[in-house]
């Protein structure tokens, strides 16, 4: 079966989104974290740049690869940009390489810990 455009983009390491300025290609490597606000999603990028799109965070998550984890109803992080996990009890939080701190929800904490520990056990942190 022929891959869809979304599957091809995912394999190539980018997402294409529509913004007020038109269609944009955002490479996964430069996405620090993603913030869902109502029916919009804000991409927080390396270097402090932001991109806002009129797509929900749930739909965005379907278009990203395994390096992204939804830590909270309104936040997803690029695991490659997580510098530290703090307070290894509830509430858990992550600190990104740009020093942004974000909460991990209680509901997602067990799965996040499993993925984070697995990632670090393989030396990819």
- Per-residue pLDDT tens for 84-125? 998 756 689 999 999 999 999 999 999 999 999 898 886 554
d(CA 80, CA 35): 17
- Per-residue pLDDT tens for 54-92? 999 999 999 999 999 999 999 999 999 999 998 756 689
Q: How many domains does the chain have?
A: 1
Structure tokens belonging to residue 78: 């690029």
Could you give the C-alpha distances from 122 to 92, 116, 118, in angstroms and in order?
22, 10, 6
Q: 27: domain CATH number?
A: 2.40.50.1020
Structure tokens belonging to residue 19: 């913004």
What are the start-end ranges of the E strands in 1-125? 14-19, 22-27, 31-37, 40-45, 50-53, 68-72, 75-78, 82-86, 92-96, 101-104
Range of the domain at 103: 5-121
pLDDT number for residue 120: 83
- pTM more than 0.85: yes
């Amino acid at each position: 079966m022929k891959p869809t455009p979304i599957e091809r983009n995912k394999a190539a390491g980018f997402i294409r989104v529509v913004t007020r300025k038109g269609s944009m290609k955002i490479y996964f490597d430069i996405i620090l974290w993603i913030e869902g606000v109502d029916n919009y999603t804000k991409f927080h990028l390396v270097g402090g740049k932001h991109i806002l799109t009129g797509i929900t965070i749930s739909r965005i998550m379907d278009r990203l690869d395994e390096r992204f984890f939804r830590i909270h109803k309104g936040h997803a992080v690029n695991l490659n940009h997580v510098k530290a996990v703090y307070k290894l009890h509830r509430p858990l939080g992550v600190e990104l390489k740009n020093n942004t701190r974000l909460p991990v929800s209680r509901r997602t904490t067990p799965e996040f810990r499993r993925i984070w520990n697995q990632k670090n056990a393989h030396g990819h942190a």
